[in-house]
Chains A and B, each alone.
Chain A
Amino acid sequence: MNETIVSYLGETLGYSFNWAGTLAIFFIASLVLASIMALIGGLGTYAERKISADIQMRYGPNRVGPYGILQFLADGVKMLLKEDCIPRDSDRFIFKLSPMLCLVGVLASLAVLPTSSGFILANLNVGIFYLLGATSVVGVGIFLGGYSSNSKWAMLGGMRGAAQIISYEVPVTLTILSIVLIAGGLSMNTLVGGQGAFPNDWYIFHNPFSFIGFFVYFIGSLAETNRAPFDIPEAESELVSGYHTEFSGMRFAFFALSEYIEVFVLCAIAAALFLGGYNIPFGLQEHGLLGQLLQLAVFFTKSFFLYYVVIWIRWTLPRMRVDHLMILCWKYLTPIALLNLVGTAVWMYCFDGKSFYMILKQLFVASGQ
């Protein structure tokens, strides 16, 4: 298993890099990943509008480029050209800082995104835990954004956003704990490598608890990214625009970008933890660059599917009320996640870490003989 891109390339090319070369490769790789993510974030807005139009039987953007696909570029240009308004009574230092915190937090979390067995930027030993830490910066950014505007709408949105993000981090963390329990390690390659290419080897079907856990995680990550039906902090009809009411121009763009990238990251983590990640069948991953590209394709397909589901949910379900939101988190998801954790631990103990499928297989094999 290749640790990082550098060692992968070093092995493939048979060349050992000095520190400048390493730095250059890392820099290029990080830049590529960040750009891809920015692109995905931008395309996310387009996809959102297009899919919503599809669901509501409208056309959606269709003027800029073929099928309106360049719409996001036009949006970006528009953002660049907007005037930068900072409210008079605001806390200017924090006002400028908060969008940066959001974007930095999200982009820093990309380092452990397991895109393929070779193309992982930093295969940290604490991979998933690091990701949790990095994304928790976003919550602080959102709260500070809401606070600094000195606007009542923004303040309400910021408070709600922070409360919601930290609340839903609890079931998400507990669910991730149960998956770590199954995999026996925190590094992303351990978590993904423990699964197989086919659904029977995925952790979602490993045992009944992880099957429930997937949905807990998915709901929790929806709420953590302030997506509908949990978009209380930016509920247009109640809070104008939530914590980024007062932000305009590029500062607003950073918030939006970080949100869309975070949605993708969490979808990708869901795909990696539960849906087999980049695993491909028949030993194809051994075929050098081709194998890596296939893994990339598989991984991004799964992630995009989940991304589609997220958008689909947004345009299907109505928004929840804020107290229902908190009740859902603390009184349903958290106890369920705790139960899942205990159940998974007991399952691992009882069945010696075997998955449901393996037990079934053993049963059938045993009865066939």
Chain B
Amino acid sequence: MNMFLMIIFTLSAFLAVGGALSVAFAKNLIHACVYLLFSLIGVAGLYLTLGAEFVAATQLVVYVGGVVVLLLFAIMLTGGSNLHHVTSRFGLESTPLMGNLRTYIMGIVTALLLIAVLCNVLQGSISASAVVESKFSSTVEQIGVKLVTDHILAFEISSVLLLGALVGAAIIARPYRSSETEN
């Protein structure tokens, strides 16, 4: 069955990496968002190859169903209505997406630096850890048991976090109650 694993891993990794690179280099923001969608789906596939099916499904439900839609909405909300600005072909505000030469140089230097750091870290981590594959089993029940035993506090507090996020975001995003119009 290793064959399937290889195939699926290759496809998913290709999707994830390609999506991520496209996010970095796409000119259009909506396109970047769609590429992000692909990248996320690819990461979900990678989770599947790692046996984390619940995390994969959560990735699909939360990211694809929620965050991407939210991002799209936000892009539409901020990209559309300013007609007096210079608009691109898609009505979006034309911002220097990748910028000028300086930005490019800076980005490349940064990327090289990051790669150096990551190689360093990888070297350390790989040499330190013996590769042991754990057994392949159902994760939902284990996660559930973990969530109500070891991580019960995190579980409950996360609800409070989400409540805070909801209330805060609702307050911030609420349209102006402009007092001028009322008066």
In the complex, whether A284 has a CB less than 8 A from a CB of chain B is no
A44–B89 alpha-carbon span in the complex (Å): 40
Of the listed stretches A127-135, A232-240, A257-265, chain B binds A127-135
Q: Which of B111-148 contact A (CB under 8 A)?
A: 138-141
Q: A125-B139, A140-B37, A143-B72 are in contact. Are A91 and B90 (CB under 8 A)?
A: yes
Give the residues from 51 to 80 in chain B that come closer than 8 angstroms, CB to CB, to chain A: 53-54, 56-61, 64-66, 68-69, 72-73, 76
Q: Using a Cβ–Cβ cut-off of 8 Å, how many residues does chain A contribute to the interface with B?
A: 28
Other-chain residue from B31, B66, B76 in contact with A93 (beta carbon distance below 8 A): B31
With a CB–CB cut-off of 8 A, which chain B residues contact A140? 37, 64-65, 68-69, 72
Contact check: which of B1, B53, B58 meets A124 at CB < 8 Å? B53
Is B31 in contact with A136, judged by CB distance below 8 angstroms? no
Are the C-beta atoms of A133 and B53 separated by less than 8 Å?
no
Q: Are A94 and B31 in contact (CB under 8 A)?
A: yes
Q: Is the interface of B mostly helix, strand, loop or mixed?
A: helix
B53-A125 in contact (CB<8A): yes
CB contact under 8 A between A19 and B61, given known A126-B53, A139-B69, A147-B72 = no
A169 within 8 A of partner (CB):
yes
B4 near A: Cβ within 8 Å? Answer: yes
Q: A23-B4, A94-B30, A130-B53 are in contact. Are A169 and B139 (CB under 8 A)?
A: no
> Given A140-B64, A169-B65, A126–B1 Cβ distance below 8 Å?
no
A139 contacts B65, C-beta separation under 8 Å:
yes
Q: Which residues of B contact A143 (CB under 8 A)?
A: 69, 72
Shortest beta-carbon distance, A254 to chain B, in Å?
Answer: 17
Number of B residues near A (Cβ < 8 Å) is 30
* B69-A162 in contact (CB<8A): yes
Instruction: Give Cα distance in the complex from A185 to B30, angstroms.
Output: 38
Partner of A166, one of B58, B69, B139, B141: B69
How far is the CB of B42 from the nearest CB of chain A, in Å? Answer: 13
A216 at the interface (CB under 8 A from B): no
A94 proximity list for chain B (CB < 8 A): 30-31, 34
Report yes or no: B61 in contact with A132, Cβ–Cβ below 8 A: yes
Query: Cβ of A144 < 8 Å from any Cβ of B?
Result: yes
Give Cα distance in the complex from A126 to B144, angstroms.
12
Residue among A133, A134, A136, A169 having the largest count of chain B Cβ atoms under 10 Å: A133
Interchain nearest-CB distance for A193 vs B (Å): 15
- A137 contacts the other chain (Cβ, under 8 Å)? yes
Query: Which residues of the other chain, B, contact A185 by a CB distance below 8 angstroms?
Result: 140-141
Bound-state CA distance A130–B69 (Å) is 18
Residues A91 and B30 in contact in the complex (CB < 8 Å), given A129-B54, A130-B53, A132-B61: yes
Tell me, rounded to whole Å, the shortest Cβ–Cβ distance linking A216 to chain B.
19
Asked if B3 is at the interface of the complex by the 8 Å CB criterion, the answer is yes
Can you list 20 A-B pairs with a CB-CB distance of less than 8 A? Answer: A91-B28, A91-B90, A126-B57, A126-B140, A129-B61, A129-B140, A130-B60, A132-B65, A133-B58, A133-B61, A136-B61, A136-B64, A137-B64, A137-B65, A140-B64, A144-B72, A147-B30, A147-B72, A166-B66, A166-B69
> Which residues does A use to contact B, with CB under 8 Å?
19, 22-23, 91, 93-94, 97, 124-126, 129-130, 132-134, 136-137, 139-140, 143-144, 147, 159, 162, 166, 169, 185-186
Instruction: List 16 additional contacts besides A137-B60, A143-B72, A166-B69; criterion CB under 8 Å.
Output: A19-B1, A91-B31, A94-B34, A97-B34, A125-B53, A126-B54, A129-B54, A129-B58, A129-B140, A130-B53, A132-B65, A133-B44, A134-B60, A137-B65, A140-B65, A147-B76
